[in-house]
Structure 1
Amino acid sequence: MFRKILTIAIGCISFSVFSLSAEVAIIVNPSVADNLDRKQISRIFMGKDKAFPSGSDVIPFNLNEGSGVRNEFEKMVIQRSPAQINAYWGKYVFTGKGTPPDQLKSEADVIAKVKSSPNAIGYIDAKNVTPDVKVIATF
């Protein structure tokens, strides 16, 4: 009996921890016709690619550091820790190769930027997607 209760308890704890992570939606303006994979999205947010595959310029927007959605995005898409990303950008900025994406305070701000700019790309929690933007990938 104790083993059965313990198994159920562990299952509940595992489910609770699993359900805390958000599904991240990568969003663009509805006018964007390009599709991007994880690697292309990572390259855009790490300053390595400055255009969509079609050739039009791209402007990435991050959520503020410490945001749960940003942490999930960095883990799933960039596949680096926040410390690794900060070190990367420190070097990138110091050598004059570029600057990190602008940070926005909220998911509503990301949606507003993407909605108003055909060149913007951002990410939000998938449950907060509105008809004003186009989802090109989820992670």
Structure 2
Amino acid sequence: MKKLLSILALSVSCVFSVNAAVVVIGNPAAADISKSDAKKAFLGKGSSFVVYELEEGNPIRSEFHSTVTGKSDAQLKAFWSKQVFTGKGTPPATVGDASGMKAAVAADANAIGYIDEADVDASVKVILKP
């Protein structure tokens, strides 16, 4: 029984150590933003930010939206489909990975995106830890 509990505890700790800490990033000159402002920006609601998303299927994207916008991948896809169909908005541009996200955000003072906190470097600034 003790062996079974040890294996279970080890399995649970491995699962939790794999979880990434998603952060919102901006240009190094950017100011911090609130979670509410990030939600509005990533849902295209009256923001002055240039927003970048990771591609669909990326687990960091799923975690970010679950935490910040409260939407699952399916809900997010439905939301943007409706926005496009009704002419109320277009989804943000997508980038393939963390290095693409950092390059896009670093190149524009008004740009924001999100990555795993472990991928942050001097080219960008963490502006929100949701």
Which TM-score tier does this pair reach, normalised by the shorter chain? over 0.9
For residues 17-32 of structure 1, what are the structure 2 equivalents within 5 Å? 17-32=15-30
C-alpha distance in structure 1 between counterparts of 2:57 and 2:74, whole Å: 12
Q: Residues 11-65 of structure 1, C-alpha deviation per residue, up to 9 Å, x if partnerless?
A: 11111111221101210011122x22222211100001322xxxxxx11100111
Moved over 3 A (4+): none
Answer yes or no: is 1:42 the counterpart of 2:33. Answer: no
Aligned-residue sequence identity (percent) comes to 38
Aligned twin of 2:129:
138
Whether the 8 Å CA contact 2:30–2:127 is kept in 1: the answer is no
Structure 1 residues without counterparts, runs of 5 or longer: 52-57
2:62 paired residue number? 71
- The answer to whether the Cα contact below 8 Å between 2:101 and 2:114 also exists between their aligned partners in 1 is yes
For residues 76-113 of structure 1, give each alpha carbon's deviation from its aligned partner in whole angstroms, at most 9, with x where no partner exists: 11211100011111111111111011011111111011
- What is the RMSD computed on CA atoms of the aligned residues? 1.1
TM-score (norm 2): 0.94
Q: Secondary structure at the match of 2:68?
A: helix
- Mapping for residues 1-139 of structure 1, pairs under 5 Å: 2=1, 4-33=2-31, 35-51=32-48, 58-139=49-130
Q: Which position in structure 2 is the counterpart of 1:54? A: none
Larger radius of gyration, structure 1 or 2? 1
Residue correspondences, number: 130
